[in-house]
Amino acid sequence: MGDMVVEPATLKPTSDPTASPSGNNGGTLLSVITEGVGELSVIDPEVAQKACQEVLEKVKLLHGGVAISSKGTPLELVNGDGVDSEIRCLDDPPAQIREEEDEMGATVAPGTAKGARRRRQNNSAKQSWLLRLFESKLFDISMAISYLYNSKEPGVQAYIGNRLFCFRNEDVDFYLPQLLNMYIHMDEDVGDAIKPYIVHRCRQSINFSLQCALLLGAYSSDMHISTQRHSRGTKLRKLILSDELKPAHRKRELPSLSPAPDTGLSPSKRTHQRSKSDATASISLSSNLKRTASNPKVENEDEELSSSTESIDNSFSSPVRLAPEREFIKSLMAIGKRLATLPTKEQKTQRLISELSLLNHKLPARVWLPTAGFDHHVVRVPHTQAVVLNSKDKAPYLIYVEVLECENFDTTSVPARIPENRIRSTRSVENLPECGITHEQRAGSFSTVPNYDNDDEAWSVDDIGELQVELPEVHTNSCDNISQFSVDSITSQESKEPVFIAAGDIRRRLSEQLAHTPTAFKRDPEDPSAVALKEPWQEKVRRIREGSPYGHLPNWRLLSVIVKCGDDLRQELLAFQVLKQLQSIWEQERVPLWIKPYKILVISADSGMIEPVVNAVSIHQVKKQSQLSLLDYFLQEHGSYTTEAFLSAQRNFVQSCAGYCLVCYLLQVKDRHNGNILLDAEGHIIHIDFGFILSSSPRNLGFETSAFKLTTEFVDVMGGLNGDMFNYYKMLMLQGLIAARKHMDKVVQIVEIMQQGSQLPCFHGSSTIRNLKERFHMSMTEEQLQLLVEQMVDGSMRSITTKLYDGFQYLTNGIM
């Protein structure tokens, strides 16, 4: 391999301080990195590059400068093209890689297996294989994570740490729990490799900072308390929370440091605007309700105040920019804790509504819902819509949150508060008799009594007119006019012919109008969430929008979130990741399996938030409310057997069923009662609650031994055991399993890394990963797999335990 010889000259310029664009600063920055305390300084691509160089240099020295390979592309010092191009030029893997390679071969791609054999004969060839892999387009984030985890070689780890900068943010975000868990629980080298990237991203995004801080806290919690305090994870968490990673100073320092065009380098374009709005945030959340007069000017006071301080923004900017958000989260958790003390659902619901209405007074503020996929500010919590969810002793609850979408969370200022009472005075102050004048009149003579009709003024007729326009009821002028036209047209005249109406028409209109309303669930004080969840999402959005003072704004959005307090969501997060991975595998392999991973926000080891699945109610609720079998419910909701709607709902049901059966089998999801399986408006089922997965199962009663839950009711919806759809279902499972098997590593990796340092019940025992791998049956032929699927389906169908378990749940929790 001719291109293996390194020309020291290519490296030299980069390590030479004067040649580097950020030369003067290089030394200090480097030391910062190596110490692993990047708190005080800015991490930017240049620094990252520097760090990279440093590592390579070190490796080169260790190995006498011989082994470093370069693919022949000399290092280019591009500054203008932004992060990616800069870092990409650094992909010279260190020589040490050759030792790693033998271990790694198996876990990489099938293609490299061959290479591994060959490498034994030729050391240099081996090395180039790995190198080529790293440089190839196939090298994706999943592989990067895998190498980072498995490699024992600091050089490789450092290299990958730098390569992280090249991946798309969204791709890396997916592996954030893995990255942070490695950071916390693995050796120092891995940590050092990961840290620059984390710090860099924290500077870019406040949301990323929050997620990191939360995850670091949650995943450190399994450590012993004494080690935890001094652990790397805790330190990094403190660093993030102390807010030293905010990019405020950047703008000021950069010009003096490097006059180079830095538009591309800057993590994001920030202006003083940001700090300005930060200041607003601190004000708006803490001193929000200081407004006293009904003067609209007061409402804008915050805004004015902060804009006047723009010039001194850095000194004034909020000390901790994450503070409002953390406060918000804390409030929600506090509500959950207090709800748990109340005995009945009804009390909980009422209490929840009251608490939220209080919380509403503090909004809008610089807070957001981390589960959302776009930048926004929370402006209002429609408190009357919130519901307490079914749970025996804890009080998870679901809230809807009105937000205003914005381009950039940091730079957009917090929306001004609009008072709840939108019945605005149509009379403005100007229209009122000028008080000042009357004062003088009064003072002049007491006798003047301008006979002023106050009462009529207070409720003058034109007010009413305007108010009627404001009434939100769309129906007022739509539906039928017959029962109303009398008022409009004939009221005035009595001399006209009397108008006759048929009693039958009135009765008919009544039943017709009621028939149009979609089937809603009845209110049940014991199950307050059923009604709220049954209402179609679009309908709910429309309704809440109508009632909201912010509803008229074009960027108004409705989000919802389940707040869980007292539950460990780390397993849920793990399940989410696995589901997401399987989903993308199936998509990639074009297997039409349907699953719905829902987002999880781990807040701490015993609290978090869940993104609710919209338009879905639990099968338990369906059965309880409708008093129908699942099939009959399908017929009622979607139409008779032959209709398009029913058939597509049935297809959705089958595809989701197959998807979740595989998930349940692979992850060993337990506790599958009807309260934990949702049915959405299109017929999909969605499994929720992954509290018992992998090695853990509830109460060890030996229930649920079947591979997954498949009741006869489910089979009925699929059209019975001999139907085409049931065969389709089995075929989908087979295809799904084959596809999953092909990408087993991607799935196992997620679980394996999280096992590191974890006390979660799902990792109980020593064989969790081995068992997981075994369930992919790598050694089976496809025919054998087909047989396996048949067996599993058969087993689950006949499984008495599933039925038993449902009965058990009914007895203990009242779940049908």
CA nearest to 664, candidates 693, 633, 705, 685:
693
CB of residue 384 vs another protein: minimum separation in angstroms? Answer: 6
CB of residue 298 vs another protein: minimum separation in angstroms? Answer: 8
CB of residue 370 vs another protein: minimum separation in angstroms? Answer: 18
Contact present, 577 and 762 (Cβ < 8 Å): no
Local structure of 686: helix, strand or coil: strand
506 sits near another protein (criterion: CB under 8 A): yes
The amino acid sitting at 458 is A
Instruction: Give phi and psi for 92, each to the nearest 5.
Output: -95, 110
9 sits near another protein (criterion: CB under 8 A): no
CA angle 688–690–696, rounded 5-degree value: 150
Report CA 273 to chain centroid distance, whole Å: 27
Site for another protein in 367-406 (CB under 8 A): 384-385
CA nearest to 92, candidates 123, 41, 57:
57
Reported as type and span, the H/E element at residue 388 is: strand 387-388
Reported as type and span, the H/E element at residue 600 is: strand 600-604
462 sits near another protein (criterion: CB under 8 A): no
Determine which residue in the list 289, 469, 800, 811 makes contact with another protein, applying CB under 8 A: 289
Q: What is the dihedral of CA 14, 19, 22, 26, to 10 degrees?
A: 60
Determine which residue in the list 292, 495, 722, 781 makes contact with another protein, applying CB under 8 A: 292
Determine which residue in the list 61, 225, 469, 503 makes contact with another protein, applying CB under 8 A: 503
Query: DSSP letters along 79-124, please?
Result: -TT-HHHHHHTT----TTHHHHHHHHGGGS-HHHHHHHHHHHH-HH
Adjacency order of strands within the sheet including 677-680: 616-618, 677-680, 685-687
Site for another protein in 348-367 (CB under 8 A): 349-351, 353-355, 357-359, 361-362
* Cβ-based nearer residue to another protein, 226 or 421: 421
Determine which residue in the list 9, 487, 800, 811 makes contact with another protein, applying CB under 8 A: 487
- How many residues bind another protein (CB under 8 A)? The answer is 98
* Cβ-based nearer residue to another protein, 414 or 733: 414
CA nearest to 242, candidates 148, 321, 325, 155:
321
Determine which residue in the list 312, 467, 721, 787 makes contact with another protein, applying CB under 8 A: 467
* Cβ-based nearer residue to another protein, 5 or 334: 334
Determine which residue in the list 104, 194, 241, 335 makes contact with another protein, applying CB under 8 A: 335
**Token pair recorded at residue 302:** 């915050």
| Measured distance CA(450)–CA(457) in Å, rounded | 14
CB of residue 395 vs another protein: minimum separation in angstroms? Answer: 13
Site mask for another protein (CB under 8 A), range 440-459, x = bound: --xx--x--xxxxxxxx-xx
468 sits near another protein (criterion: CB under 8 A): yes
CB of residue 451 vs another protein: minimum separation in angstroms? Answer: 7
Determine which residue in the list 152, 249, 269, 290 makes contact with another protein, applying CB under 8 A: 290
* Cβ-based nearer residue to another protein, 453 or 644: 453
Contact present, 657 and 677 (Cβ < 8 Å): no
Site for another protein in 765-804 (CB under 8 A): none
Query: How many other C-beta atoms lie within 10 A of the C-beta of residue 70?
Result: 19
CB of residue 377 vs another protein: minimum separation in angstroms? Answer: 17
DSSP bridge pairs for 557? 403
546 sits near another protein (criterion: CB under 8 A): yes
721 sits near another protein (criterion: CB under 8 A): no
* Cβ-based nearer residue to another protein, 345 or 638: 345
Contact present, 86 and 78 (Cβ < 8 Å): yes
| Measured distance CA(175)–CA(157) in Å, rounded | 16
11 sits near another protein (criterion: CB under 8 A): no
Determine which residue in the list 170, 462, 494, 783 makes contact with another protein, applying CB under 8 A: 494
| Measured distance CA(531)–CA(518) in Å, rounded | 12
Handedness of CA 60, 63, 64, 67 (dihedral sign): negative
473 sits near another protein (criterion: CB under 8 A): yes
* Cβ-based nearer residue to another protein, 114 or 508: 508
Report CA 68 to chain centroid distance, whole Å: 42
| Measured distance CA(417)–CA(380) in Å, rounded | 9
Determine which residue in the list 249, 507, 770, 798 makes contact with another protein, applying CB under 8 A: 507
* Cβ-based nearer residue to another protein, 355 or 745: 355
* Cβ-based nearer residue to another protein, 35 or 346: 346
Site for another protein in 224-283 (CB under 8 A): 282
538 sits near another protein (criterion: CB under 8 A): no
Pairing mode, strands 677-680 and 600-604? unpaired
DSSP bridge pairs for 623? none
Site mask for another protein (CB under 8 A), range 411-440, x = bound: --------xxx-xxx-x-x--xx-x--xx-
625 sits near another protein (criterion: CB under 8 A): no
Determine which residue in the list 33, 184, 218, 285 makes contact with another protein, applying CB under 8 A: 285
* Cβ-based nearer residue to another protein, 103 or 470: 470
Q: How far is CA 743 from CA 149, 584, 738, 748, in A?
A: 18, 10, 9, 9
